[in-house]
Structure 1
Amino acid sequence: MSTAARTPLALRIVADDLPGRACGGYENVHVAVQRGREPEGAVPGDAAEAAWEFTVDTVLAPDGTRDFRGPHVHGRRGARFLYLTWGEWPPGGTFTMFRRAKLFLDDLPAPAVEGGAAEARLGLTDACGLPLCAAVRPPRVRWTTR
């Protein structure tokens, strides 16, 4: 794929219903979007809301399907996703990941991709009161055009 065929897609993720600073035996819980292997924009687990904004690139694959690229994008072609990573982050310490949630980019509505901007909204506490993890698909996450 040619880099000339890349089109920027502005993404915004907005989350509420965070599980708390202490939950599931963890303390100083924070959630972040994962950029490469690192957490970015960590938010305390007791915040009223968490929001992240960044850009990914869309490209046209040789078979005519859309694909996604960039430092926030993970997974293989046809199954790309974003990670929300949960970790303990004690004062003066380092972020230690203990679970992650995957937001799949193939769930993005076509008009949002074509329009160049999309927003995801979701709650971050699972049915057991713990940090949301694993595959997060609609209707648990709601993607819209921005």
Structure 2
Amino acid sequence: MTVTVTIEGSDLPGRVCGEGGGFPGYANVHVGVQRRGKPGELTGVTPGDAERAVWELECAARPGADGRTDLTGPYVQGGPGDRFVYLSWGDVGPAGFGMFRRAKLMLAAVDPEVLAEAARTGRLTARLGLTDAKGHPLCARVVPPAIEWTAP
């Protein structure tokens, strides 16, 4: 079965993120979804000052060994029971996309009932803000309540 995972990002940090608090600062900031095993290959690269960012990823859904719905696909990282999607932040310059941080959207943290409903309906939606408490691009492990997962 196929499940379309839609990631809706709001509150982007801006195209220029100044330095401070151990953050070196970057200009021409963009964000995209990283392909599994290919950190330099991104889809849906969006400027950091966009009103919002939306990505749609086609995934395969099947029952996992633990009874939970397991999602796989070209943009899903990790092994069974530890699946996630990387949002990669980079500074785009003459040499291309220079990644400087990533946010790890934990599919493994999605409520099992929501995953089961997604397998039935073919749709799973994530909603999250893309700016951290310091005003920088969101990074690290992202789990509820920082991200809301729903299946219509």
TM-score by length of 2: 0.85
> Does residue 69 of structure 1 match 2:72?
yes
Match of 2:26 in 1: 26
Measure the CA separation in 2 of the matches of 1:101 and 1:28. 18
Measure the CA separation in 2 of the matches of 1:105 and 1:99. 19
Once the two structures are TM-superposed, the CA of residue 62 in structure 1 deviates from its matched residue by: 4.1
Letter in 2 for 1:29: V
TM-score by length of 1: 0.88
Q: Which shifted more, 102-111 or 61-70? A: 61-70
Letter in 1 for 2:134: C
Match of 1:17 in 2: 11
| Secondary structure class of the residue paired with 2:96 | coil
| Secondary structure class of the residue paired with 2:119 | helix
Match of 1:3 in 2: none
Measure the CA separation in 2 of the matches of 1:16 and 1:30. 13
Once the two structures are TM-superposed, the CA of residue 34 in structure 1 deviates from its matched residue by: 1.1
Match of 2:56 in 1: 53
| Secondary structure class of the residue paired with 1:101 | strand
Measure the CA separation in 2 of the matches of 1:131 and 1:10. 25
Measure the CA separation in 2 of the matches of 1:20 and 1:104. 24
**Percent identical:** 50
Match of 2:123 in 1: 117
Q: Over aligned residues, Cα RMSD in angstroms?
A: 1.5
Unaligned runs of 5+ in 1: 1-6
The answer on whether the counterparts of 2:69 and 2:119 sit within 8 Å (CA) in structure 1 is: no
Letter in 2 for 1:20: G
The answer on whether the counterparts of 2:3 and 2:60 sit within 8 Å (CA) in structure 1 is: yes
Q: Please point out which of 129, 138, 146 is paired with 1:140.
A: 146
Measure the CA separation in 2 of the matches of 1:15 and 1:62. 31
Once the two structures are TM-superposed, the CA of residue 67 in structure 1 deviates from its matched residue by: 1.7
Measure the CA separation in 1 of the matches of 2:52 and 2:8. 7
Match of 2:45 in 1: 42
Measure the CA separation in 2 of the matches of 1:65 and 1:138. 18
Measure the CA separation in 2 of the matches of 1:121 and 1:64. 25
Measure the CA separation in 1 of the matches of 2:107 and 2:44. 20
Unaligned runs of 5+ in 2: 20-24
